[in-house]
Structure 1
Amino acid sequence: MDPEIVIAQTTSDNEDQAKALARGAVESKLAAGVHIDAPITAFYWWKGKVEAAQEWRISYMTSADRLPALEAWLHEKHPYDVPQWVTLPVTGGSEAYLSWVVDETHPR
């Protein structure tokens, strides 16, 4: 059976922090690759009122069996009290790319 691939996402309100969270996950082999989206505007409830903030979305490409380690690492490194953490299943894609994700997230 092929390993399941997932995309996990979080956000940061600081571009340098987003880059650090991206680089650290790749260097730790917790993600094969990471995309950081250009600043987005987020609206959300926080402590009883609607907030608006500029954030960078960080998307991690990883294998499902590495997801718990990536999540633990992220919660340790992320400065937010409650960082966004959502995962999206990858239901298809090029076999070469999906194999690359698996290879890069499983240290030899």
Structure 2
Amino acid sequence: MTRPAAPNAVLLCYCACPDTASAQAIAGALVDERLAACVNRLPGVHSTYRWQGAVTRDSEELLLIKTTAARFDALKARLLELHPYELPELVAVPVQRGHAAYLDWVRAATGEAPQDC
């Protein structure tokens, strides 16, 4: 059994989108709403997966989303509202180590109160 991350823990989340328009919309909303400090969009991802009994191959755009454990539930809810897939991918990985100043910036940029970030 895994323990939940501390609220101020930084998470790196992965989410695949079917196209640039949905990826841009999701990325913009998550950052605008302070649910993510930054979202990188990686076009040209080639995915192979099993869906509804068939192997499917698609081109997708991958989102790399930086947030905190405290903001994850709200981020997940918003992503599920915006995402066009019936079953969107959302995987969060705790950041174990990193540049301390960058991780502090992620925490500040996703804080409830606006700060100079």
Give the TM interval when normalised to the shorter protein: over 0.9
The 3-state SS of whatever aligns with 1:74 is: helix
Corresponding position of 1:102: 107
Choose from 45, 52, 55 the match for 2:50.
45
Give, in angstroms, the shift of residue 3 of structure 1. Answer: 1.7
Corresponding position of 2:36: 31
Give, in angstroms, the shift of residue 38 of structure 1. Answer: 2.0
Choose from 11, 17, 22 the match for 1:6.
11
Q: How many equivalent residue pairs? A: 108
Corresponding position of 2:71: 66
Give, in angstroms, the shift of residue 96 of structure 1. Answer: 0.6
> What percentage of aligned pairs have identical amino acids?
32
TM normalised by structure 2 equals 0.88
Give, in angstroms, the shift of residue 8 of structure 1. Answer: 1.0
Give, in angstroms, the shift of residue 107 of structure 1. Answer: 2.5
Q: Report if aligned partners of 2:44, 2:61 keep a CA contact under 8 Å in 1.
A: yes
Question: What is the one-letter code of the residue matched to 1:58?
Answer: L
Give, in angstroms, the shift of residue 30 of structure 1. Answer: 0.1
The 3-state SS of whatever aligns with 2:43 is: coil
The 3-state SS of whatever aligns with 1:66 is: helix
Q: CA RMSD in A?
A: 1.3
Matched, 1:17 2:22: yes
Structure 1 residues 22-60: Cα deviation after superposition (integer angstroms, max 9, x where no partner): 011000000000011121110000111100000000011
Corresponding position of 1:82: 87
Question: What is the one-letter code of the residue matched to 1:89?
Answer: P
TM normalised by structure 1 equals 0.96
Give, in angstroms, the shift of residue 16 of structure 1. Answer: 1.3
Structure 1: give runs of 5+ residues left out of the alignment: none
Structure 2: give runs of 5+ residues left out of the alignment: 1-5
Q: Report if aligned partners of 2:7, 2:70 keep a CA contact under 8 Å in 1.
A: no
Give, in angstroms, the shift of residue 95 of structure 1. Answer: 1.0
